[in-house]
Amino acid sequence: MTTNTPDRARTRFPGISSRAYEHPADRSALVALRSLSGFDIVLRRLSGLFNERAIRLAFLGGSVRAGEDQFRNLYDMVRDAAYILDLPEVPELYVRQSPLPNAMAIGSDHPFIVVNTGLLDLHDDEELRFVICHEVGHILSGHAVYQTMMMILTRLGSRLAWLPLGNVGIAAIIMGLQEWFRKAELSADRAGLLAGQDLDAAKRTMMKMAGGTRLGEMSTEAFLAQAREYDAVGDVRDGLLKFLNLIQQTHPYPVVRFAEIDRWAQSGEYDRILAGDYPRRADDNGASISEEIRNAANAYRESWSQSADPFIGKVRDVAEGAAAAAGGLFDRVSRRGGGSQNGGS
């Protein structure tokens, strides 16, 4: 049984690799991207199209930077999260006046965190800690950098929409990117739990994102039952409607995130990491692309087997076949390239 630890020293994870908590579908995409020779150089060139210095100056001039004398509580949370996840440097954190309860990680060379005041008004300290740790997890995984590149490529690709079938191709790319973004959010939720080490706070965060501050009117058991109902609701038509609703979403719905973090915490993987059994950053170069793709396929297969959504049942065979074909393709390419499947960081 997983134990929450909000009132005692939190476990630190020296040298932890982001692979420890990344959702398999997210992790396989990142390992594949990192394996490309010269990819990081190209990435930073593309990221340079967005002036990171200008963005930082905008927040420096128009928001409040947390520190020893401003938003000290949040500043301490960022330092704690960076220490627990063994981040090379402590990210800056800016508080921006906005009623929208949101937070984000921005930048490439020195990513920083932005938290809206709407989030501060919505959550208590332990919930905010989960959010801050979530964003630090994004930074450790490199999500801020990769998402910037994906946005650039999407914008460049949109210029080709005038070509025959161009809109179809662009729509497929966007759908794929949004699916990755949603899985990246699940990864960051796991990082939030790992660094915050308070499962109840993580769950409350999701509930408040869905229903506001009136937790006394809500129930974790009922919310989890709601998540199961959402998963199983209706017939194939309802499943298709859920799929269409999700296409434009960058984040999974709160009930989905609630159920996912509960499932991961109860799976035993969270407890193994707390006990010190986790992959190290020093071994990232040895990550196998084909193995990560298989892990992603297995994760989807397990998720589908647990899902009661009839629409998922209809597309399961097709999707599994596509995942298997992708793994086989990487195997063949790797063999032709001399048998190496290792990724570079």
- pLDDT one-digit tens code per residue, 4-46: 444 568 999 999 999 999 987 777 666 665 565 555 555 556 5
Q: Among 110-114, 158-162, 250-254, whose mean pLDDT is lowest?
A: 158-162
Partnered with residue 105 across adjacent β-strands are 113
Q: Residue 308 — pLDDT band, cuts 50, 70, 90?
A: very low
Partnered with residue 57 across adjacent β-strands are none
Question: Does 7 map to a domain?
Answer: no
* Residue 135 annotated among the catalytic residues of the structure: yes
pLDDT at residue 156, as a whole number:
58
Domain that holds residue 48: 19-336
In tens, the pLDDT along 56-71 reads 899 999 999 999 999 9
pLDDT at residue 38, as a whole number:
57
Q: What are phi and psi of 95, to 5 degrees?
A: -105, 125
pLDDT at residue 332, as a whole number:
47
Nearest to 60 by CA among 17, 101, 93, 102: 93
Question: Does 307 map to a domain?
Answer: yes
The answer to whether 23 and 298 have CB atoms below 8 angstroms apart is no
pLDDT at residue 2, as a whole number:
47
Question: Does 178 map to a domain?
Answer: yes
Q: And the tokens for 291?
A: 């193995």
Question: Does 3 map to a domain?
Answer: no
pLDDT at residue 281, as a whole number:
92
Question: Does 231 map to a domain?
Answer: yes
Catalytic site residue from 92, 135, 260, 292: 135
In tens, the pLDDT along 286-307 reads 766 566 666 655 655 555 455 4
The answer to whether 193 and 270 have CB atoms below 8 angstroms apart is yes
Task: Choose between 267 and 169: higher pLDDT.
Answer: 267
Number of structural domains, the chain?
Answer: 1
Q: How far is CA 33 from the centre of its chain?
A: 16
Question: Does 32 map to a domain?
Answer: yes
The pTM (predicted TM-score) of the whole model is 0.76
Question: Does 2 map to a domain?
Answer: no
Q: Residue 256 — pLDDT band, cuts 50, 70, 90?
A: very high
The DSSP letter of residue 282 is G
Q: How far apart are CA 170 and CA 152, in angstroms?
A: 13
Question: Does 56 map to a domain?
Answer: yes
